[in-house]
Amino acid sequence: MGRVTGGEMPPSKELAKHPTSSKRKTRRYNGDRREKRKKRRVTALQTEAHSETLSLEDNSNRTLTSHMHACAHANYHRSGEYRGKRKRQRPANTVDRRKWVYSPRDVSHCKDGFVFVSYNLLAVENAKKHPDLYPNVSPELMDWDYRKQILCKEVRGYNPGIMCFQEVDRYDDLDNLLQKDGFRGVYQPRTGDSCDGCAIFWKNELFTLLHKESIEFQRFGLRNNVAQFCVFKRKRKECSNDSNALTSEDISSQRFLVGNIHVLFNPKRGDIKLGQIRLLIENAQRLSREWGNIPIVLAGDLNSMPKSAVYQFLTSSKLDIRMHDRRHISGQIDPSVEPTYRFKSVHAARVRKPFMHRWTDEELRLATGTVSVHLLHQLKLCSAYAGVPGTSKTRDDLGEPLATSFHSQFLGTVDYIWHTAELVPLRVLDPLPVNILRRTRGLPSEEWGSDHLALVCELAFAGEGKET
């Protein structure tokens, strides 16, 4: 045993056996405390992020800055990048890009495809009358001189053949810009005091306009909305002087009808909405027949949501008006307020309530053109978006976009492209996911020039091997 010298005290037995154990215990204890603090910090950040997310679901106007910072900060600590590692930056704007989704069907028999666009452009005067819809949008982004450049740049990127626009009140501006890209257009203004209307543009090198006409719904007691029709013929670049190179079937198959409409907004006037859509379909069917039963494309802002009675009428070709309350025909209910909104089946409605709402004779006349309680049409219409399946991030269970319009009072789908079976959708441009839309805190934005999103699809003529 060593001798004690210089007044030193003898070490304890424990320290004599393990001279560094005390230091290890201290480091372990401090390490545990640091780990607990880190866990509490990450948990707090995650809770903050979760709270911010919930506030977005309630359409709060709070900024996303703290939410994004919290998520990034939590991931930063969790990944260990704070230990001297450089944080990777995500490429700018990639999250906001819309993607093409291609049809899973065999489309090898289809020919002569062209890109079709339907877009509500947000009329300048309408935006000025309703500033409460755009509280989070800076005045610079609402300026028409800025928006028209953004809108034209966007649609150019789709390389469209035909475009249907709604809420157009600066037609000359659009016409001047799009003519430079080889487009021609026709315009139909609304009647009454309204300043906007509908416009159809087509690529002049691809199509020839054969016929045009319009509907002024005011003449039928159905408000000041309008619809327009154009019959087009696809141009062919002939490589032969043989006049018999094309059969009569080939020639007729390249003719088709385009209808464009902006339906009344008023959610409580389902009778007028149905009347406008009824006239749209009746005139489309008549024109198709007059031109040799040509294919039909119908597009526009229907101010009606999927699973509404209006949507049911378009897809099923029939509607028993007695089963629906006139005030709920369009289903214009904010999903954030009532996300489980569903229309009951006709059978269930008949069992519980034979008459959900007593329609007056005048309301029936506006909706059906007579006093009948049944609406019927002969067109077999298909939705372009429902025909090309997407994911649950962007589509509902019918295949329609979860949202085509977003401002402070509404987030949902009201825009559609419909077609008959002679045309086949090869691909559609998927809408933005709802969570990405909410990050904008309302449209228009720096990237999107309207409070609606453009619907874009590529349609082709079905050949001999078409599916039935």
Q: Report the phi/psi class of residue 112: left, alpha or beta, with left for phi > 0 and alpha for psi in -120 to 50.
A: left
What share of the chain has pLDDT > 70, as a percent? 69
pLDDT > 60? residue 447: yes
- Inter-helix orientation angle 65-79/21-57, to 10°: 150
Residue 385, helix vs strand vs coil: coil
* Phi, psi (rounded to 5 degrees) for 8: -75, 145
How would residue 13 be classed by pLDDT, with cut points 50, 70 and 90?
very low
How would residue 358 be classed by pLDDT, with cut points 50, 70 and 90?
confident
**Residue 283 pLDDT:** 98
- The span from the CA of 298 to the CA of 275, in Å, is 16
pLDDT > 70? residue 9: no
In this predicted model, what pLDDT tens digit does every residue of 275-312 receive, in sequence order?
Answer: 999 999 999 999 999 999 999 999 999 999 999 999 99
The pair of structure tokens assigned to 254 is 């390249």
Question: CATH says 101-236+246-461 is which class?
Answer: alpha beta
Q: Report which DSSP code applies to 386.
A: T
How would residue 428 be classed by pLDDT, with cut points 50, 70 and 90?
very high
Question: Do 233 and 204 touch, CB atoms closer than 8 A?
Answer: no
How would residue 44 be classed by pLDDT, with cut points 50, 70 and 90?
low
pLDDT > 90? residue 97: no
In this predicted model, what pLDDT tens digit does every residue of 112-148 receive, in sequence order?
Answer: 999 999 999 999 999 999 999 999 999 999 999 999 9
Average pLDDT, the chain: 81
How would residue 463 be classed by pLDDT, with cut points 50, 70 and 90?
confident
Q: Where does 20-172 show beta strands of DSSP type E? A: 100-102, 111-120, 162-168
pLDDT > 50? residue 192: yes
| Domain regions of the chain by residue span | 18-79, 101-236+246-461
Q: Averaged over 372-392, what is the pLDDT?
A: 96
The residue ranking higher by pLDDT, 336 or 97, is: 97
Q: Where does 64-154 show beta strands of DSSP type E? A: 100-102, 111-120
pLDDT > 90? residue 229: yes
**Residue 24 pLDDT:** 56
pTM value? 0.76
